[in-house]
Amino acid sequence: MKKETPSVVVIKEHNALVIHSLDDIAVRSGLSIGLPLANARAICPELTVYDADEAADAKTLNDIADWCDRFTPLVALDPPSGLFLDITGCAHLFGGERAMLQIICGALARRGFAVSGAIAATSVCARTLTRHSSGRIIEDGAETDAVAPLPISALGADDAITKGLRRAGLKTIGDVAARTRHEITARFGAAFTTRLEHALGQGDAPISPRKPLPDYIVEKRFPEPVTTEPMIAMTLQNLARMLVQAMDKQGKGARKLEAAFFRTDGAVRTLAVETGRAVTKPEVIDRLFRERLDALSDPLDPGFGFDLIRLSASRTEIVVQQQRDLDAHVHDNDELAALIDRIAARIGGKRVVVHLPEDTHIPERAALAASAQHHLAAASHAVWPARAEGEPPLRPLRLFERPEPIKVPFATVPDGPPHRFTWRRATHQVVRVEGPERIAMEWWQRDGKVLTRDYFRVEDEQGLRFWIFRDGLYDSELADEDGKPVPANWFVHGLFA
């Protein structure tokens, strides 16, 4: 029979490789976490060593946390290999606390993970129990008796504290708890004392869920996994109706919605849509998710089926009932907002923008691109500079994000515009000119830049119209090292229709 060899995962700490994790065979061989690799090889020459991949471990822990969302929305990370689940009010949905613990640990074990779980009134007490045994459920008030016999290493304190406690003859948590608190604090610090008290059930540190708790949640669990699109669509319709009914009782509407699809193999797919106005109709929610599903570059793959579909409203607001009159503009705005929501659900909210006027003379900063879903009302009331009827436009139809440099022969440049210029390897002969329009930059944001531009509207022989400017005031006294005048820097900033 082939002898099994111990395996360990190592990580670099303080310029030395130490054991980060190990299997049962390595434990029986006398190895432990934190042991230097050189010492481990001396104990077990046949040792199999793997390098730790912390990024992959973190991703795996997050994937497991996503899977645990099916049991409770309050899931917190406890790196590097732990999770906290707040199951208050959730256990009865799975047959009680013991049945729930068996379901979670059993499902993870079947996927190849070594799992240790416990249930207690405080998170630190539960974590302390999992470091020594698995499957324990501690009643409220029995935390001290449960953790007292455990070794002090179960607290998970620093190695220096653990060694200091052992040198003092304190081998169990009960031994440490028997000492006065001020004595422990003076020797090992207030943080360790707080950890000890939480493990004993004397107070608790609240967990920090990885995701904020949604305002409203509705879900559908299936005794048999569903795979067909019609069944998934019908489930979303029913959940949308249930969600709207729950929000309507408190006079609220949804501004951000999330649909989560839990597969039987543990994979979780989440889709989110946002709205510009509070949604209070289930058919609108259903239509937005249909748009989102149709636009997915990576289609929703049910695999072996979904056993849970959840719909939540993560952001809501109070709906103010307004009396509608016969003004057509009101209905047009409603239709426009609905259209924007549908387009945003398909291509993303950041790609649907409106432009708002800014109080500045700098052309490239005169308009601010903002999300159309959140600034539609502001855009409808925005006031832009008006021009007289029949007058040509003062600003180009197409304004470049950054002005592009052009080449201007110095001989053609007096204080006025150039007679010809070269832009994008094409030479343009100027036949008509309007200007100059002098625009001063913001002196408080100078940052070494020239503070004045002279803009000209020019037209070439082919009828193309450009908006060009000279960067800085022209100074004929400027010269280079050879005594030749230095030409000004010219740019094209936009194109007229």
pLDDT at 66: 92
Residue 430 — pLDDT band, cuts 50, 70, 90? very high
Residue 259 has pLDDT above 90, yes or no: yes
Residue 181 confidence (pLDDT): 87
Q: Which one is predicted more confidently, 376 or 342?
A: 342
Q: Is 126 helix (H, G, I), strand (E, B) or coil?
A: helix
The structural domains of the chain, with segments of one domain joined by +, span: 7-52, 55-199, 216-320, 327-385, 398-495
Q: Which of 165-174, 285-294, 351-360 has the lowest mean pLDDT?
A: 351-360
Instruction: Give the pLDDT score at 349.
Output: 81
pLDDT confidence tier of residue 446, bands split at 50, 70 and 90:
low
Q: How far apart are CA 346 and CA 331, in angstroms?
A: 23
322 and 331 in contact (C-beta within 8 Å)?
A: no
Tens-place pLDDT, residues 202-237: 887 788 898 888 999 999 999 899 988 889 999 999
Report whether 472 contacts 373 (CB < 8 A): no
Contact present, 23 and 42 (Cβ < 8 Å): no
Asked if 355 contacts 369 with a C-beta cutoff of 8 angstroms, the reply is yes
Distance from C-alpha of 64 to C-alpha of 81, rounded to nearest angstrom: 10
**pLDDT number for residue 464:** 93
Give the DSSP H/E element, type plus range, for residue 61. Answer: helix 54-68
**Selection from 268, 281, 170, 184 nearest residue 219 by Cα:** 268
- CATH tag, 216-320: 3.30.1490.100
pLDDT at 102 over 80: yes
Residues 6+ apart with CB under 8 A from 251: 318, 319
The percent of residues in the chain predicted with pLDDT above 70, rounded, is 90
Which residue, chain included where needed, has tokens 């047959």? Answer: 95
Q: What is the pLDDT of residue 62?
A: 93
Residue 1: predicted pLDDT: 42
Give the 3-state secondary structure percentages of the chain, helix then strand then coil, rounded to 5. 35, 30, 35
pLDDT score of 487: 61
> What local confidence, expressed as pLDDT, does residue 60 receive?
92
C-alpha of 439 from chain center: 41
Residue 240 has pLDDT above 90, yes or no: yes
E-only strand ranges, 227-267: 252-263
Nearest to 347 by CA among 268, 256, 273: 273
From 465, 473, 472, 474, select the one nearest 492 (Cα to Cα): 465
Contact 35, 10 (CB under 8 A): no
Nearest to 157 by CA among 148, 146, 168, 166: 166
**Among 181-185, 468-472, 481-485, whose mean pLDDT is lowest?**
481-485
Q: Would you list the DSSP string of 307-370?
A: EEEEEEEEEEEEPPP----S-HHHHHHHHHHHHHHHHHHHH-GGGSEEEEE-S-S-GGGSEEEE
- pLDDT by residue (tens digit) across 308-365? 999 999 999 888 765 555 555 555 567 888 888 888 888 888 888 888 888 777 787 7
Non-local (6+) Cβ contacts of 89 within 8 A are none
Q: Are 399 and 492 in contact (CB under 8 A)?
A: no
Q: How far is CA 490 from the centre of its chain?
A: 43
Report the alpha-carbon distance of residue 119 to residue 135 in Å, rounded: 8
3-class secondary structure, 169: coil
Closest among 370, 334, 374 to 354, alpha carbons compared: 370
Per-residue pLDDT band for 421 (boundaries 50, 70, 90) equals very high
The label of the residue with tokens 């021009």 reads 387
Give me the residue label for tokens 């499902």: 107
Tens digits of residue pLDDT in 27-62: 888 888 888 898 989 888 888 899 989 899 999 999
Range in 364-368, 427-431, 451-455 with the lowest mean pLDDT: 364-368
CB 157 within 8 A of CB 195: yes
Q: How would residue 462 be classed by pLDDT, with cut points 50, 70 and 90?
A: very high
For the domain made up of 7-52, give the CATH fold.
Answer: MutS, DNA mismatch repair protein, domain I (3.40.1170)
Q: How far apart are CA 100 and CA 95, in angstroms?
A: 7
pLDDT above 80: residue 472: no
Per the confidence metrics, is the pTM higher than 0.75? no
